[in-house]
Amino acid sequence: MTAEPLSAATDDPPDDSPADAPRPTSPPRGSSWSALRPLVLRLHFYAGVLVAPFLLIAAVTGLLYAGSFQAEKIVYDHELRVPVGDTELSISRQVAAARKAHPEGEISAVRPSPEDGATTRVLLSGVKGIDSGHTLAVFVDPYTGTVRGALEQYGSSGALPLRTWIDELHRDLHLGETGRLYSELAASWLWVIAGGGLVLWCARRRTGKRALVLPDRTATGRKRTLSFHGTVGIWAALGLFFLSATGLTWSTYAGASVADLRSALGQTTPTVSSTVGGEHAGHGAGYGSMPGMDMGDTDGKGGHTADVGLDAVLKAARAEGLDNPVEIVPPADHGSAYVVSQIQRSWPEKQDAAAIDPATGEVTDVQRFADYPVLAKLTRWGIDLHTGNLFGLVNQIALAVLALALIFLIVWGYRMWGQRGRGSAFGRPIPRGAWRQVSPYVLVPLVAAIAVLGYYLPLLGIPLAAFLAVDIVRGRIATRRT
């Protein structure tokens, strides 16, 4: 959002001129840009006024989320950290300690201690009082087997209650699927507003690179506000484009379109096969209870089947190069294997996975992140960068700065709106016939591209149609009055 949103552009009358001063009914003939500029300006203006509140919510909640990683480490330090001991207990003994303290539910996964002084997490599904799609994480001291506590966990990033609450606030305002429409609307329009503003600002500042990237501190009033708005916007534009693109990848409607496109291009994220013994059973489809792990009746159902145990499974995964951090998922049924996956989302990514036969301890399949299709890798990196995982604290600071920049851009935009002086709050409509001044060689491809984008990004297309309808009506009203 980088230029004259919420403003009437350079050809507006000064603040002290009457709002109903005579205006041309169409822009002068000339270059394609001179004809396109009124259209870009009005789109930028309407989107800035009407979509900015949603962007403001996304920016504020995104700022909170960027700080939630460090806050989580402080709030849950007792569960996450322990004094470093001499020797770690076997994984089976750690899981047995967790099950003794929390026999409810079933084991859905185990995350061994990833580093010295970190606890092991035993994840339980089907626990009463835990939201669907979440698990109960039991934290075990790997040196003593002491259970340090249990907290609700969400997502593959291992978000605990504080970060989960902020994450859901940012994603859907705690309104479920209906609430996700707000964030998709914001992501769908962010790149349009930023792109329109960037073009308008660069066209306005054709001379003097300093004026393009640094604010004019000698200016006053609305020009000063515009100067800060434009220069901050041009620095933040690339980051805003990135947030928009990555935010759309897991949105409801646009995300489905992205998934369909990746599928059609053969760029879906591959998964390791968990089938053993010729019987297909998908990894994750109803987790088992880890029978035969030499830890007693851990599943509460009694009895064991042939199983090499967690420690042998982890050893086999280590032999395949799957170092920490990893997550061990139990077999879904007797025809499935253990799946051990690396879960490091920071750079360099560790996303390799291996399937291990529970009866023999042999590796039956391996999936390497290096072998992912290009779009699958880009999606993984993009999501982890968007969520502040890829580069850790540096990533989170950058996201916080970007969120603050967007907040200031919106505030400055509304301030310019208030500084416009007397006249119509929404400014003058596009002069009638403006689109006729655009060359057909530009207009036809542009309309086709907008139609395609509107189809695949419905929360862009539907509001855009509404904006155009409103502007056309206002244009007719203004013409009749004139």
Q: What is the pLDDT of residue 34?
A: 77
Q: Supply the range of the domain harboring residue 422.
A: 32-65+175-263+400-481
Over residues 352-393, the pLDDT tens digits come to 999 999 999 999 999 999 999 999 999 999 999 999 999 999
How many domains does the chain contain in total?
2
Q: What's the whole-number mean pLDDT along residues 133-152?
A: 97
What integer pLDDT is reported at residue 304 of this predicted model?
A: 45
- Domain shared by 237 and 317, yes or no: no
- Tens-digit pLDDT profile for residues 175-224: 999 999 999 999 999 999 999 999 999 887 655 667 788 888 888 998 99
194, 231: one domain: yes
pLDDT in the model for residue 425: 61
Q: Is residue 247 scored above 70 in pLDDT?
A: yes
* Claim to verify: residue 187 and residue 153 sit in the same structural domain: no
Distance CA 135, CA 110 (A): 11
Question: What's the pTM?
Answer: 0.85
Residues 274 and 366 in one domain: yes
Using a pLDDT cut of 70, give the percent of the chain over it.
83
What per-residue confidence (pLDDT) applies to 303? 44
Q: Are residues 184 and 258 in the same domain?
A: yes
Residue 321 sits in the same domain as residue 448 = no
Confidence at residue 413, expressed as pLDDT on a 0 to 100 scale: 92
Kindly report which listed range (48-57, 162-171, 402-411) carries the lowest average pLDDT score: 48-57
Percent of the chain with pLDDT over 90: 66
Find, among 60, 15, 104, 109, the residue nearest to 423 by Cα: 15
Q: Are residues 302 and 247 in the same domain?
A: no
Mean pLDDT of the chain: 85
324 and 449 part of one domain = no
Confidence band (pLDDT; 50, 70, 90) for 23?
Answer: very low
Please give the structure tokens belonging to residue 14. Answer: 């000064």
Q: What pLDDT is stored for residue 282 in this prediction?
A: 40
Model confidence pLDDT, tens digit, residues 295-348 = 334 444 444 467 999 999 999 999 999 999 999 999 999 899 999 999 999 999
Mean pLDDT of 129-151: 96
Judgement on whether residues 365 and 447 belong to the same structural domain of the protein? no
End residue of a domain, out of 319, 351, 371? 371
What whole-number distance in Å separates Cα of residue 472 and Cα of residue 478? 10
Q: Evaluate whether residue 383 is within a structural domain.
A: no
